[in-house]
Amino acid sequence: MARLNRLIYYLLIILVFVFVSVSVVPIFFRQDASLLSDNPLAPEAYRQDVFIESDSSSSPSTEYTTKYLSWLPQGEFTDQHEAFRNAIRIGKETGRIVIAPMLRIGRPLAWQPFQALATSYKSQDNDSHLRFHCGQLSVPTADPACADVTTDWAEIPWSTLFNLQAITDEFGVTVVERTTGHGWGYDETATAVQETISDVAVVDIMTFAENTTLYRDAHKQAPARKAGQRPQDQTPLTAPLRNTLSPSQWANVRDRQYLQLGALSSTPRYPLPPSKEQMTLRRALTHHLMVTPNQLSPLTRDAYQMIATLGGTNHFSSLRLNLARIVALDARVNKALLDDSATNSSRLTIDDLDPDMQQKVMDAVVLEVFGDIPINQAVSAAMPVPADAPLASLLDSQRHLATHSPTDRKALLDACLDYRRVEPHYPIYYVINDHIASPITRPDIYGPLLKFFPCLFTKDDMKRWGTIDMASWVHLQPQFQDPGVDYVSLLEPFLDILVAGQGYSFFEVPQTPLSRYMGWQRKVAPPISSV
- List pLDDT tens digits, range 67-86: 999 999 999 999 999 999 99
93/262 Cα distance (integer angstroms): 18
Q: Which of 103-107, 229-233, 473-477 has the lowest mean pLDDT?
A: 229-233
Across 98-121, average pLDDT: 96
Q: Name the more confident of 297 and 46.
A: 297
Closest C-alpha to 146, from 486, 484, 489: 484
Q: Model confidence at 136, in pLDDT bands (50, 70, 90)?
A: confident
State yes or no: pLDDT of 161 exceeds 80: yes
Q: Is residue 18 part of a domain?
A: no
Closest C-alpha to 184, from 254, 100, 105: 100
State yes or no: pLDDT of 51 exceeds 90: no
371 and 410 within one domain: yes
**β-sheet bridge partners, residue 69:** 98, 259
Q: Model confidence at 220, in pLDDT bands (50, 70, 90)?
A: very low
Which pLDDT score, from 0 to 100, does residue 336 have?
A: 60
- Across the beta sheet with 213-214, the strand order is 175-178, 97-101, 68-71, 258-261, 200-203, 213-214
Which pLDDT score, from 0 to 100, does residue 345 have?
A: 52
Beta strands 200-203; 97-101: pairing state: unpaired
436 and 389 within one domain: yes
231 and 361 within one domain: no
Number of domains within the chain: 2
153/104 Cα distance (integer angstroms): 7
Q: Is residue 75 part of a domain?
A: yes
Q: Name the more confident of 20 and 316.
A: 316
406/466 Cα distance (integer angstroms): 10
**β-sheet bridge partners, residue 101:** 178
Percent of the chain at pLDDT above 70? Answer: 79
The DSSP annotation for 306-328 comes to HHHHTTSTTSSEEEEE-HHHHHH
Which pLDDT score, from 0 to 100, does residue 122 have?
A: 95
Q: Is residue 11 part of a domain?
A: no
Q: Which of 343-357, 360-374, 471-485 has the lowest mean pLDDT?
A: 343-357
What's the Rg (C-alpha) of the chain?
Answer: 29
Closest C-alpha to 101, from 16, 14, 184, 200: 184
Q: Model confidence at 90, in pLDDT bands (50, 70, 90)?
A: very high
319 and 271 within one domain: no
Q: Which of 49-53, 158-162, 272-276, 300-304 has the lowest mean pLDDT?
A: 49-53
pTM, rounded to two decimals: 0.83
Which pLDDT score, from 0 to 100, does residue 210 have?
A: 59
114 and 55 within one domain: yes
161 and 96 within one domain: yes
30/135 Cα distance (integer angstroms): 55
Across 304-331, average pLDDT: 92
Q: Name the more confident of 137 and 481.
A: 481
**β-sheet bridge partners, residue 156:** 103
Which pLDDT score, from 0 to 100, does residue 515 have?
A: 95
310 and 244 within one domain: no
Q: Is residue 21 part of a domain?
A: no
Which pLDDT score, from 0 to 100, does residue 335 have?
A: 62
Across 467-481, average pLDDT: 94
Mean pLDDT of the chain: 83
Q: Is residue 291 part of a domain?
A: no
Closest C-alpha to 199, from 100, 31, 62: 62
311/298 Cα distance (integer angstroms): 20
Q: Name the more confident of 400 and 185.
A: 185
Which pLDDT score, from 0 to 100, does residue 53 have?
A: 27
State yes or no: pLDDT of 298 exceeds 50: yes
101 and 205 within one domain: yes
360 and 234 within one domain: no
Which pLDDT score, from 0 to 100, does residue 218 have?
A: 36
Q: Is residue 14 part of a domain?
A: no
- Predicted confidence (pLDDT) per residue in 501-523, tens digit: 999 999 999 999 999 999 998 64
Q: Which of 284, 308, 343 represents a domain boundary (last residue)? A: 284
Across 82-96, average pLDDT: 97
Q: Which of 284, 312, 338 represents a domain boundary (last residue)? A: 284
Q: Is residue 5 part of a domain?
A: no
Parent domain of 78: 34-284
Q: Is residue 315 part of a domain?
A: yes
Across 14-21, average pLDDT: 69
352 and 230 within one domain: no
426 and 280 within one domain: no
Percent of the chain at pLDDT above 90? Answer: 63
Which pLDDT score, from 0 to 100, does residue 62 have?
A: 79
Q: Which of 257, 284, 311 represents a domain boundary (last residue)? A: 284
403 and 480 within one domain: yes
State yes or no: pLDDT of 36 exceeds 90: no
